[in-house]
Structure 1
């Protein structure tokens, strides 16, 4: 079920905490550390809870050598760190070092190949997660089955309208993030995936037949 937007001026709305306040801010160097599909999956796994290399390999269905390599890469770029309080002489435990990350828009100009690779890695994870959700869609308990939704819209917007849409959606997500995680009975983890982008390639040519314009005078 979608949540309506508050029809009030932004300055009259209560301040909403930024859930990415303590997130890592990527730069051209650290961007390389996440621009890999498997490395992104490892990082997202550790965002949920600390784990050993063996547990990472088992949960992701990869070899221990592959898991170890990507863990070392994530450590080298500052995304994860070893947790000595959990580790032993035989096992090393790893945890994420920040609450998510931000991708500054200037990197699309400075390192477009890497930002494209990173977004492909993120999109691959979205696709995998959505596919798993669809497989369980009909089996969800009553109430949750009706609350989940998939939606796809094609809009005609100006740049200003697109920017306004982005700001409003982010505000709603931030508000619900702040209201959640309270340990309320019946609370579940809910994944929300949003993307908005201009139509890839050129927009369709206007239908000239719909507006022939002024006719030539005889």
Structure 2
């Protein structure tokens, strides 16, 4: 699964909205569960919005190239949407204007806020899960002192491992066996320099 780097501020703006991040998260989860997309009504229900409001967000994401129409389920009146971009990173160009850097910061904040909401939802039900599954979950925080070339090596090796397991996820989804013992697990990797207050 190739990761697309988003550098265009207009594309960042299209995604920098909580409802649109919810769309991205929901469609991505459905994909690795073996389902090909969802309708505006289905996504709106999860996001707590009206289908018409969700349709607006879906059109915005499609125009920016993040999602596309999936094959119809048989009802021509019902539009099914699926992800076009499955994995991405956000980074403004090195020579980006200050306004573009602000857009990048807004996008990253929106992304991390969505991940935090997803994590909090999981925490709320964690004690209800099978103890074995609960033990598989982990939260980790730490610090490392590395040279720039070591940072690059660490990042590359970790992303390669994530890529390997992401490919397995897609293979499981394509096999179409939802009760095969696999679980959908979220991960969030942040690597950033320490900044003094």
TM-score relative to the length of structure 1:
0.71
> Counterparts in 2 of 1:170-209, with a 5 A limit?
170-183=159-172, 185-201=180-196
CA distance in 2, matches of 1:178, 1:44: 17
Tell me the residue number matched to 2:88. Answer: 101
Larger fraction in helix: 2
Structure 1 unmatched ranges of 5 or more: 1-18, 203-218
> Counterparts in 2 of 1:9-158, with a 5 A limit?
19-20=1-2, 23=4, 26-47=7-28, 48=30, 49-83=36-70, 85-86=72-73, 88-104=75-91, 106=93, 109-110=96-97, 111-158=100-147
TM-score relative to the length of structure 2:
0.78
Q: CA deviation at 1:25?
A: 5.0
Aligned length: 183
Give the structure, 1 or 2, with the largest relative contact order (CA under 8 Å, sep 6 or more). 2
Tell me the residue number matched to 1:210. Answer: none
Q: CA deviation at 1:180?
A: 4.2
Contact 2:8 2:92 survives alignment (8 Å): no
Q: CA deviation at 1:79?
A: 1.8
Kindly report structure 1 stretches of 4+ aligned residues shifted beyond 6 Å. Answer: none
CA RMSD of aligned residues (A): 2.6
Contact 1:108 1:115 survives alignment (8 Å): no
